[in-house]
Chain A
């Protein structure tokens, strides 16, 4: 079995061929789907739990505390223990709630997170699906997650939940627009919406360097609006704990609450991974056009480390936002989106189109 840490395409192909030799093509496809599903479920759980741990550590670090440090070395087992506790907790049934929708809502949020996770290229040849409209696909499936939030808020039959759901619905719908437009600027630069194509186009420099000023502007807009889209940071008024207890998931308990909580952190991972892929080159090492020796030296670091390094950097940034800025009011939030970010974005797209037409960027 050919295995190389630098290029996974031969590895995945050899698995495919191996399966096709033992069973019929239909069953081979089913087995592959099952394997990929298992890998993603495992990744979902582990990444989600350790992001929660990272959040608590970063928060503690910024507030001059130690954070979790009792369970395991440096408290590494803390979130695992929390997950086991949540598994064993009683699920409290809510009287006068819409039972069907109440139980359905966490799964919609989780499925939406899974579907966008599938499109992320983790390393060369290591992505589940690679559509030629990749960026658009991610925008489309991530817009389904808001339905889970709205349903959770309504079906709990609680005022806190309903207000939280309305707020987060308005927020997600408006900021989705800015996320889409800021990704669109890089789509114009690279001329493709396919994630593998976007990564390949950064082989001689990442877009944030090659696209100079407009790329930096759209990167900043992307960071702000994606933080808002995942209901985090200064934009977490959907679950503002001081006024709404926990927003749309107030009435959820035990493992159903954990589903929402995990999905929130996985969504943070997804937006960071998309940002890293589109603006910072994804798994592509740091290359500078013309510097052959330097590029060759950078190639020795495996792509998967580049990808997770960049993603973790963005996650760290987004976590810092949360513990630095005070929470916005709902009218400030909507003003920021509709009066500042959206017009800036639209002008930026026109500028980018002009730059690409004239060829005024680093090729």
Chain B
């Protein structure tokens, strides 16, 4: 049990540390890499909860997909010497004020929620269960969101092709 707690704090501190670093760094590609560490550590948390499917989705979609796309676009558009300028003092103070205010607002709300360990039997997240849920139309089914997202992706794909064609 103590090893679990230790691992949890390890992953959480990695997440918080690199999340802060990715905001405060002034080189854009480093920010993307710090974001990668945050996402991988989140996947580690899922692995710790023995929910391997979500962890693998996290790795494949966020770490292997979105971060790669971000890095790709940085590679195409930015030069290595490029650094962001330090923001103006007014903006820094304003941003800090809003962040602290938001935290002060959020913490009491989170603490007022009674978190307790539930005693529902764990669901087996096997391939069959996930596949059935994904195409289920009844309760807890994901058939409608699945189809809506498919249509949305198709629309954006067609739009991307139209933009890339440049009216030839």
Interface residues of A in 248-270 (CB under 8 A from B): none
B80 contacts A97, CB within 8 Å? yes
Interface: A333 (CB within 8 A): no
Which of B36, B74, B127 is A193 in contact with, Cβ under 8 Å? B127
Residue of B nearest to A112 (CB): B64
Residue of A nearest to B40 (CB): A144
Given contacts A26-B3, A104-B33, A150-B72, contact A136 B56 (CB under 8 A): yes
A interface size (C-beta, 8 A): 36
Q: Is the interface of B mostly helix, strand, loop or mixed?
A: helix
Given contacts A98-B27, A143-B64, contact A157 B80 (CB under 8 A): yes
Assembled-state Cα–Cα distance A126/B59 (Å): 25
A204 vs chain B, min Cβ distance (A):
22
Residue of A nearest to B2 (CB): A26
Interface: B99 (CB within 8 A): no
Residues of B within 8 A of A166 (CB): 72, 75-76
A20 vs chain B, min Cβ distance (A):
14
B29 vs chain A, min Cβ distance (A):
6
Residues of A within 8 A of B126 (CB): 132
A169 contacts B56, CB within 8 Å? no
Contact with A along B105-145 (1 / 0, CB 8 A): 00000000000000000000111100000000000000000
Given contacts A133-B52, A139-B60, A192-B127, contact A154 B80 (CB under 8 A): yes
Number of A-B pairs, beta carbon distance below 8 Å: 89
Q: Is the interface of A mostly helix, strand, loop or mixed?
A: helix
A12 vs chain B, min Cβ distance (A):
20
Residue of A nearest to B58 (CB): A140
Interface: A314 (CB within 8 A): no
A132 contacts B60, CB within 8 Å? no
- Which of B3, B33, B74 neighbours the largest number of chain A CB atoms within 10 Å of its CB? B33
Residue of B nearest to A173 (CB): B68
Which of A137, A147, A165, A192 is B56 in contact with, Cβ under 8 Å? A137
14 additional A-B pairs beyond A132-B126, A166-B76, beta carbons within 8 Å, are A26-B2, A98-B80, A131-B56, A132-B125, A133-B53, A139-B56, A143-B63, A150-B71, A151-B33, A153-B75, A157-B80, A162-B75, A166-B75, A191-B128
